[in-house]
Structure 1
Amino acid sequence: MDLKVLIVFGFFIVFVESNLTFKNWLLKYNLNYRTNSPEFNRERKQSFDVSVAFVTVNKLKYNFEYELGLNGFADVPFQQFQNSFNGLILPSDPSQRGSLITYKNFTQILPNLVGITPAAPASVDYRNYSLPVLNQKLCNSCWAFSTLSAIESKLMMKNSSFKTPLSAQSIVDCDTVNLGCSGGWPTKAFNWILQNNGNGVPSADAYPYYGYQMKCRNVPKIPVNLKAVIQDYTNGDEVKMKDIVANSGPIVVAFHVTSYFQLYSDGIFYDPTCNTKCSVVNHAIVIVGYGTDPVTKNDYWIIKNSWGTSWGKNGYGFIARNKGNQCNIACWAIYTT
């Protein structure tokens, strides 16, 4: 079929489907625009229509190995999504972007961290050592959520009875080296917990999340007992990254979010439009495993996001592995001992 005909056909489907599905979509995600201005309502509906067109045309035009869908962000313009749901900020000092190991009283800069042995198995999956996926809301706090998710997993691996979510709000409010809802860098958050916060974090029940920055409150902390924080500048080396995940558990990584990733639903995500420079990253996620699809034989990373369970596969996703450092996922490995 001619591409122009295909696109016209796609937009015809869009016109019919968008009006039929918009009300159902609002009900599914329990959204109500009545309290907002008519202009806001129109803008959201227009953005939803753009998402419907985007999903429909891409399904017709491309044979993706992954699925796009009308998730809970389908009414958010991509530019606003970038500005409100990410939050990763690279350190301004280039020396702080390299390989580092931080202890309680000092940080050591390491030119090259040696790869971890023993050799990694063919696949690992730490999702059983992960607490429920959360939603950072309209706050650029991915750096806080990813940091705490990695710490929670480490605590669960040491003690199977640990089931207490840690407070991302306390990190957003109290961390003095990052910028709250304006963004941050996970290594700085790990180091702040280790060196300045008594090596502990309040529970999410004691210090609940609101999605905006508030005045820091002093509440009792749960000891997390970090011994050291490691930032390994892996520079796209996915074999080394695999070894780290296999032998250290879930790790925080930097990522470059595109419009395709916003509406990702399932399957192994691969976007050839992603930037390939490690300096171009805008989001922090947690790698919780890796494997290979038994049918396609394509390798993938398993990632945990902080955009709630409407995104991806109940908040998790699969990213292409050994395919050119997809969206810069293998530039940094940040984790604790």
Structure 2
Amino acid sequence: MARAIATILLMAIVLVAAMQAVSSVDITDTDLASEKSLWALYDRWCEHHSVARGLGEKARRFSVFKENARMVHKFNHGGAPYKLSLNLFGDMTDEEVDDGYGRCSSPLPNSAKQSQDRVTHGVLAARDNYPIYVDWRMTGYDQRPSAVTNVKMQRGCGACWAFAATAAVEGINSIRTRKLVSLSAQQLIDCDKESGGCKGGNPVLAFKYMIDHGGISTEADYPYFADDHGYCLVPKRKDPIVTIDGFKEVPPKDEVALLQAVAAQPVVVGIDTKTFRRYGGGVFVGPCGTNQTHSMTVVGYGTTDETDPIDYWIIKNSWGPKWGEDGYIRMARGVNGGTEGLCGILMGGASYPVKN
């Protein structure tokens, strides 16, 4: 009985946490009524996101901003189960968002695929027994701390692959050691020479780097710079340094396998982000492509509590806490027959670190 009550409470907490969306700049019909009111809306947006623009730049950006505002407002009155937002990309074009934030995950080179068996401890065998709800952001479950650190911001550096990889390692390290430690994405950017730093990389290569080089530094010891230093600055060995023993792949086009993996720990996935740049909350249901140019970390899954429930993934991004639902997106699962998955999440490349 006590176990059942605890399970119900856990489910309730997960649902509340999942529905919590970040505060954003709301849009009303009045805001769109005139150039003057649109300028006032733009000023509010700049203040909310701490954006400073010169006069010339601001005038140019305003034309982009007002088109985005109109598009967001129109979409949000269309009855979709998710909302768009004037988020941090409010005065940026889609191409600018993709160039600065979205195109940051590269396929594995052939050389890495050939040597992969040496560092891979097999693949996950899918099973049918997995929990109904999982949220690794929670504390206290199974007498452990959270397995997810704060949402980070890659800014203009194309390092989503490094943030996704460190988030997965932070997760398994917390699960195994009961200590949540924020790890250095910057070390991967500077020191993983098989990846391309701010020009993009691959989380599997990041795992391989950590295995080959005895672990990774904490973020405190090797802080984020949002650019390539041009050389590796690994400090002299300090404790704690976090190590992993290997990594595993999730079989492609197998939703049950991904569910089973996420039930055990946070998992890195490749996703097509083009259609949710301006996501603001709710369960994203598409439409979406399958071009996996962005790496993110799945930290849980669940089902909405409504008349027509929607199954979803809980995914951590690296676009800061003012994007989406406090930096996360809930994305529909059980889509496309469980083979491709929404936005290509099941197309391959999902992986997670092993720590004994």
User: TM-score band (shorter)?
Assistant: 0.7 to 0.9
Q: Which amino acid aligns with 1:208?
A: P
Q: Secondary structure at the match of 1:79?
A: helix
Listed as ranges, the gaps of 5+ residues in structure 1 are 1-8
1:228 and 2:246 are equivalent in the alignment = yes
2:293 is aligned to 282
Closer/same/farther in 2, CA of residues 80 and 158 from structure 1, 3 Å limit: same
Give the 3 Å change call, closer, same or farther, for CA 132–245 of structure 1 in structure 2: same
Q: Deviations over 1:287-306 (max 9, x none)?
A: 00011112031100001110
Structure 1 residue 159: deviation in Å? Answer: 2.5
1:265 pairs, out of 280, 285, 288, with 280
Q: Deviations over 1:313-337 (max 9, x none)?
A: 1111100010121001122321011
Q: CA deviation at 1:165?
A: 1.2
Kindly state the Cα deviation for residue 130 of structure 1 after the two structures are TM-superposed: 0.5
Aligned to 2:18: none
Q: Show the counterpart of 1:125.
A: 135
Match runs of 1:22-41 below 5 Å: 22-34=42-54, 38-41=55-58
Q: Report the CA distance between 1:261 and its aligned residue.
A: 0.9
Q: SS state of the match for residue 108, structure 2?
A: coil
1:83 maps to which residue? 99
Q: Superposition RMSD on alpha carbons, in Å? A: 2.4
SS at match of 1:289: strand
Matches within 5 A, 1:160-179: 160=178, 162-179=179-196
Q: CA deviation at 1:193?
A: 0.9
Query: Is the CA contact (8 Å cut-off) linking 1:115 and 1:244 kept in structure 2?
Result: no
CA change 1:166–1:108 in 2 (3 A) is: closer
Judge which range, 80-89 or 41-50, deviates more: 41-50
Q: 2:310 matched to which residue of 1?
A: 298
Question: In structure 2, do the counterparts of structure 1 residues 308 and 14 end up closer, same or farther at CA, with 3 Å as the change threshold?
Answer: farther
Report what 1:3 is aligned to.
none
Q: Does 1:21 align with 2:41?
A: yes
d(CA) in 1 for partners of 2:51, 2:74 = 26
TM-aligned CA deviation for residue 114 of structure 1: 5.2
State the identity as a percent: 28
Aligned residue-pair number:
308
**Aligned residue in 2 for 1:185:** 202
Amino acid at match of 2:90: A
Matched, 1:53 2:63: no
Shift of 1:94: 9.9
In structure 1, the residue corresponding to 2:298 is in which secondary structure?
A: strand
Corresponding residue for residue 6 of structure 1: none
Q: Is the 8 A contact 2:127 2:256 kept in 1?
A: no
Equivalent position amino acid for 1:285 in 2: M
With over 3 angstroms needed to count, the CA separation of the structure-2 counterparts of 1:47 and 1:264, relative to structure 1, is: same
Q: Tell me how far apart the structure 1 counterparts of residues 120 and 299 of structure 2 sit (CA, whole Å).
A: 27
Contact 1:14 1:53 in 2 (8 A): no
Task: Tell me, in whole angstroms, the C-alpha distance in 1 between the residues paired with 2:281 and 2:217.
Answer: 33
CA distance change for structure 1 residues 114 and 172 in 2, over 3 Å: closer, same or farther? Answer: closer
| Matched residue SS, 2:350 | strand
CA 1:101/1:123 → structure 2, altered by over 3 Å: closer, same or farther?
farther
The C-alpha deviation readout for 1:162-196, integer Å capped at 9, x for no partner, is 2331111111111111000000011111111111x
Unaligned runs of 5+ in 2: 1-28, 139-146
Matching residue of 1:4 = none
Indicate how the Cα distance of structure 1 residues 114 and 147 shifts in structure 2: closer, same or farther if over 3 A, else same. closer
Letter in 2 for 1:63: G
